[in-house]
Amino acid sequence: MSNVKVRFAPSPTGWMHIGNTRTAVFNWLLAKKLDGKFMLRIDDTDAVRSKKEYEDAIRDILVWLGLNWDEEARQSARTARYDEVVAKLKADGRIYACYETAEELEVMRKKLMTQGKPPIYDRGALKLTVGDIAKYEAEGRRPHYRFKLNPGIIEWDDLVRGHIKYEAENLADPVIIREDGSYLYHLPSVIDDFDFGITHIVRGEDHVTNTAAQIQMFEALGGKAPQFAHLPLLTGKEGKLSKRLGSLGVRELRAEGIENMAICAFLAKLGTSEAIEPWDNLTDLAQSLDFSKLGRSQPKFDEEELKLFNHKVVHQLRFTAVKNRLDVSEEFWEAVKGNLNTVEEAKIWQKVCYDTIEPIIEDNELCTKATELLPDDLAADNAYSSWINVIKQNTDKKGKDLFHPLRMALTGLDNGPELKVLLKFIGYEKAKARLSGQKA
């Protein structure tokens, strides 16, 4: 299926949150699994709210996650193409002008709902006379435009939701152009997908109704609709995730030390019947993609669960994955990684072992005796256990009363990797000095 092509189409109108990051992950994985192409399309038709800083952040996040794209496009550069299609569809009778104000439409909507009817636009604009239109325009009204849906069944086989069917008569003709002449999402998206040969559209289930209308738009362009996969929406602490609600994003997670593979694997398996487990790389993760294993309920994104999963990912990271981020040896990494929450924490223990620290002496008598009994070769097998046993034999200390004062003297920190792991990296001279209360 080398002709497969998917797209991730973010709007740069806010910071990218974890919900649309998940959409990007699924699209990229699908392209990789089917040996297809992944396109980045910047949907910047909203000139007022679109900002370069948001677009830059989107690109930065995708690159950091490893979701590199093969092609890209920008909707603001394609207005002439949209105008060309609109002119044709107007001539075909599929796009028509409407003059109702937002307030009038709201009154109509409430009236229909009061009558127990669905709030579907009544196509009153199609009955306007030339005189009616002239009167509205004399009042200063400017038209918005709708796409006229043809009657009949609209159906498709969704990769996630199965067979979906709508009666076109039960859907409102979607508004595609605002009063100010700017385009809404619906038609430009279809034109782009048609022109760029998109074969699969993976997006949130909040687009299901949009899909029904867009299928007719594809047909009006003389094309065939792509395959669709509508993902159940993630929920968070505040409910539905959205940019406007300020939901947690990858920028914040990255700053907290969450690994890119932790985010990708977590989002790829959240809400599926599969266990959320670490993966070495995106290519292998892509081969495991199976839409049939996605549940229909909306999965809850829990930041704390992701952090716990990140610990698991860090503990399994090979040295090759971190060697360009840390100035440590493979032996050191393998020794300390099992106690790390983030890769960055390795630098703490690098400082403890190789730099100068201020020891904390809680039990001077114990530390003095421990100094006297300190073996010369701390890297020798069983050096640490032999040392501890000798200290026990020569003092009345055991348990926390033994181990905590030694840890505070040797590392200055309450917890972390075991002393038997750290001691050989600290070395005899530093260990002796610290146990004696000296800064070393």
Nearest to 262 by CA among 202, 317, 337, 299: 317
Mean pLDDT of 223-234: 96
- DSSP label at residue 394: H
When mean pLDDT is compared across 83-87, 95-99, 241-245, the lowest value belongs to 241-245
Q: ∠ at Cα 234 (170, 226), nearest 5°?
A: 50
- Enter the tokens of residue 141: 């009204």
162: number of Cβ within 10 Å: 9
Helices and strands in the chain, H and E counts: 18, 12
Which residues lie across from 229 on neighbouring strands?
202
Q: What is the largest CA-CA distance in the chain?
A: 107
- Please report, as a single letter, which amino acid is at residue 351: K
**Please, where in the chain does CATH 3.90.800.10 lie?**
80-177
- Please report which confidence band the pLDDT of residue 242 belongs to, taking 50, 70 and 90 as the band edges: low
With 80 as the cut, is the pLDDT of residue 189 above it?
yes
Nearest to 297 by CA among 228, 235, 212, 236: 235
- DSSP label at residue 169: G
- Residue 287: CA count within 13 A, CB half-sphere: 5
Mean pLDDT of 351-368: 95
Mean pLDDT of 309-329: 96
The predicted-structure confidence for 167-187, as pLDDT tens digits, reads as follows 999 999 999 999 999 999 999
The predicted-structure confidence for 369-389, as pLDDT tens digits, reads as follows 999 999 999 999 899 999 999
- Enter the tokens of residue 70: 């093969």
- Please report which confidence band the pLDDT of residue 238 belongs to, taking 50, 70 and 90 as the band edges: low
- Please report which confidence band the pLDDT of residue 2 belongs to, taking 50, 70 and 90 as the band edges: low
* pLDDT in the model for residue 71: 97
- Collapse the DSSP code of 341 into the 3-class scheme (helix H, G, I; strand E, B; otherwise coil) and give the result: coil
Percent of the chain predicted with pLDDT > 90: 90
- Please report which confidence band the pLDDT of residue 46 belongs to, taking 50, 70 and 90 as the band edges: confident
Q: What is this structure's pTM?
A: 0.91
- Please report, as a single letter, which amino acid is at residue 244: R
- Please report which confidence band the pLDDT of residue 16 belongs to, taking 50, 70 and 90 as the band edges: confident
Q: Which residue has the tokens 């292998």?
A: 284
* pLDDT in the model for residue 244: 45
CATH superfamily of the domain spanning 1-74+184-316: HUPs (3.40.50.620)
CA distance 60 to 47: 21
Q: Roughly what angle, to the nearest 10 degrees, separates helices 383-394 and 364-373?
A: 130
- The whole-chain average pLDDT of the chain stands at 94
When mean pLDDT is compared across 72-81, 117-126, 247-256, 369-378, the lowest value belongs to 247-256
- Please report which confidence band the pLDDT of residue 124 belongs to, taking 50, 70 and 90 as the band edges: very high
Rg from Cα positions in the chain: 31
CATH top-level class of 80-177: alpha beta
Mean pLDDT of 139-159: 97
* pLDDT in the model for residue 236: 77
- In this structure, are residues 98 and 146 in contact, taking their beta carbons and an 8 Å threshold? yes
Task: Find the helix or strand (DSSP H, E) in which 65 lies.
Answer: helix 52-65
Mean pLDDT of 274-281: 96
* pLDDT in the model for residue 57: 95
- Write the CA distances from 202 to 20, 160, 168, 207, 298, integer angstroms: 11, 10, 23, 10, 16
- Write the CA distances from 246 to 16, 190, 213, 291, integer angstroms: 10, 29, 30, 29
With 90 as the cut, is the pLDDT of residue 246 above it?
no
Percent of the chain predicted with pLDDT > 70: 97
The predicted-structure confidence for 64-87, as pLDDT tens digits, reads as follows 999 999 999 999 999 999 999 999
With 70 as the cut, is the pLDDT of residue 221 above it?
yes
